[in-house]
Amino acid sequence: LSEFSIIKTISKIVQSDRLDVRQGIGDDAAILRTPLRSDLVVAMDTLVAGVHFPVLTQPYDVGWKALAVNLSDLAAMGADPSWATLALTLPKPDNTWVAEFARGFVALARQHQLALVGGDTTRGPLTITVQAHGWVKKNKGLLRSGAQVGDGIFVSGTLGDAAAGLCLALGQTKSGCPIKVNSIGVYHRKILLQRLNKPTPRVTLGQELNRVASAAIDVSDGLAQDLGHILQASDVGAVIEVAQLPASVALKRYVSQEQECRHLQLCGGDDYELCFTVSPAKQKHLKTIEKKTGVRITRIGHIVSGHQLMLVDAKGKKMRLPQQGYRHFS
Amino acid sequence: LSEFSIIKTISKIVQSDRLDVRQGIGDDAAILRTPLRSDLVVAMDTLVAGVHFPVLTQPYDVGWKALAVNLSDLAAMGADPSWATLALTLPKPDNTWVAEFARGFVALARQHQLALVGGDTTRGPLTITVQAHGWVKKNKGLLRSGAQVGDGIFVSGTLGDAAAGLCLALGQTKSGCPIKVNSIGVYHRKILLQRLNKPTPRVTLGQELNRVASAAIDVSDGLAQDLGHILQASDVGAVIEVAQLPASVALKRYVSQEQECRHLQLCGGDDYELCFTVSPAKQKHLKTIEKKTGVRITRIGHIVSGHQLMLVDAKGKKMRLPQQGYRHFS
């Protein structure tokens, strides 16, 4: 029975020694011990082949990414990851594919002492749904709804790399791809593809921000859209200084025009950086957090009253939001 | 943005007033309050259109069933349901379909005071993954692994109806369909289709069995296969008295041959009844539980040493396990 051989393959590879797993893979459901004085945080994300990743993506990377996008959601809540469940829909039983997938999944899981505790395997078009569980202290956690007028707006890492990587992965030469595909070197090409296929969820940063940020979200659909969710939930507006948006060396060097670069940074999806707001009084903690986590933090603007997301250039002049694009292949 | 209109449609319909939901739909993840002295039980099941339900199934029934199969897993653990998350992959944004789906989902959710707290909506072939959360008292819960030699084997309700319903739903006239399709009346036809499309998870029964059963599983892939999991996990064998298998009036009346009827009862999937084992000393509680839950409980055999699943007829003569069939359309 192929379903059982798939489950066997996965369970062997993902073994974990967390003591809070009373019953993991292999019963009708998992039974999990819960800590005292904590609230449970649950995030669920689906990846569909050809929609959320190119169909030729390596199974190792698909496994990694399926967990990464969920850990990124937990990070944006300031949660400490504990367990995950996996629903894997496969066109045909393919143990080699499944084993590589499981290796990618567990490589990231081990970095965060997370255990895969259950799930389901079914036959159908390649689709992966992961639910990640984590913990925050009772009544703590980073919501989208806490941003206040006057708060600074910050992002981690650099923006736009995954969208540039997507152009490379699809071998786009058609209009719309802003990357100088022919001149980019192996090293930078690899970096951009890695940002697309093996994103790093900012889990430690998210937990550090718990005592500091007033609101947070992860950048999965593009900064403009995701920051928009904070603005809506917090009932505020924002001014973004476009010149401050952090760009990688690869992006700066191999994107033809400055305008194209901004487009990728504002509208490109799949970066999985954190975008968060911090009150003036608490901004002094950010240097320490940057040092402790090794993740670069950049101030990109501030919260204002109203509901608008306003972009300004280095001289404070208003700019137009570029047309949206690059979102999840659509 | 159609994703947001789908989320809006769903959240409006599924509203709940559970006080333990700190943050539900609408942030990066949900935040949930956990009770003291309880263990968390999580089950995850996927339904793929054309694999786990006929493509023409009403969206209301798909919504109901997507939750039902997960609640059935919680029931088989003896858990008290609390929250669910939903990953909905749709070929195209269709708010009418989504609204009907959500109505079916919430109709069952409300019966169990369960709240939908989050999830994901994506574009792709119709696939639904639900994760259900529930609670058992610390160190309690029904595993597959507790069956002991001498325990009685019991099932709830009747077996084989959903598999018969599947024949009707697919309008099967080809060889293999044992139902007298032409002579079955509207009433019994409806009952069998309902067993397929709107299964009743045995949630209350599962909780009552917590203090009584030594092992339990839900019958989703057919009694023979599912009881097999109990035998394997408990390292025991079983004798099943085939004449004792509970059959509905519809099944008895409209299945051509007794042998076909047994086939449906032993190998037919999608019944979502509970199969469980109870030690002789505790069997006296079953009458009370039957009365309290209104669910019929039938003794169908007993646990023996070894690893075999043995079928016997009314005279105790050994029978052969019929060829397996009817599992999830494959």
Query: What are the pLDDT tens digits along chain A (330 aa)?
Result: 578 889 999 999 999 999 999 999 999 999 999 999 999 999 999 999 999 999 999 999 999 999 999 999 999 999 999 999 999 999 998 999 999 999 999 999 999 999 999 999 999 999 999 999 999 999 999 999 999 999 999 999 999 999 999 988 887 655 567 787 778 889 999 999 999 999 999 999 999 999 999 999 999 999 999 999 999 999 999 999 999 999 999 999 998 788 889 999 999 999 999 999 999 999 999 999 999 999 999 999 999 999 999 999 989 999 987 765 444 433
Name residue, tokens 């949660």: A79
Q: Which of A43, A125, A127 sits opposite B29 (nearest CB)?
A: A43
Directed axis angle between helix B2-14 and helix B95-111, to 10°? Answer: 30
Contacts of residue A18, defined as CB under 8 A and 6 or more positions apart, other chains included, come to A82, A83, A113, A115
Residue A195, phi-psi category: left (phi > 0), alpha (psi -120 to 50), beta (remainder): alpha
Contact B230/B142 with Cβ under 8 angstroms? no
B119 pLDDT above the threshold of 60: yes
Position A325 scores a pLDDT of 46
The yes-or-no verdict on residue B214 having pLDDT over 90 is: yes
Task: State the pLDDT at residue A324.
Answer: 57
- Cα(A205)–Cα(A219) distance, rounded to whole angstroms? 14
Q: What is the pLDDT of residue B1?
A: 54
User: Looking at the partner chain, which of A27, A46, A86 has a beta carbon nearest the beta carbon of B144?
Assistant: A27
Q: Which residues of B184-212 are buried (b: 16+ CB within 10 A; e: fewer)?
A: beeebbebbbebbbbbbbbbbbbbbbbeb
Neighbours of B2 (CB within 10 A): 15
pLDDT tens digits for B293-320? 999 999 999 999 999 999 999 899 999 8
Chain B partners within 8 Å of A123 (Cβ): 48, 51, 330
Of A48, A49, A77, the CB nearest to B28: A77
Do A23 and B143 lie within an 8 Å CB cutoff?
yes
| The pLDDT of residue B270 is above 60 | yes
Which one-letter DSSP state was computed for residue A28?
S
Average pLDDT, chain B: 93
B327, pLDDT greater than 50: no
CA distance to partner chain B, nearest, from residue A178 (Å):
25
* Of A28, A132, A138, Cβ closest to residue B43: A28
* Tokens describing residue A39: 């609230």
- Residue B323, pLDDT score: 63
For A72-121, write each residue's pLDDT tens digit: 999 999 999 999 999 999 999 899 999 999 999 999 999 999 999 999 99
Q: Which residues of B touch A47 (CB under 8 A)?
A: 122
- CA B84 – CA A71 distance, rounded (Å): 19
Regarding beta strands B309-312 and B318-319, do their DSSP bridges make them parallel or antiparallel, or are they unpaired? antiparallel
Q: How many CB atoms lie within 10 A of CB B319?
A: 15
The pLDDT of residue B180 is: 79
Which comes out higher in pLDDT, residue B320 or B67?
A: B67
**pLDDT confidence of residue A126:** 97
Burial letters for B46-61: b for 16+ Cβ neighbours within 10 Å, e otherwise? bbbbebbbbeebebbb
What chain A residue is nearest to B119 in terms of C-alpha separation?
Answer: A44
Tokens of B35: 């009770």
Give B-chain residues touching A43 at CB under 8 angstroms: 28-30, 118
C-alpha span between A196 and A163 (Å, rounded): 7
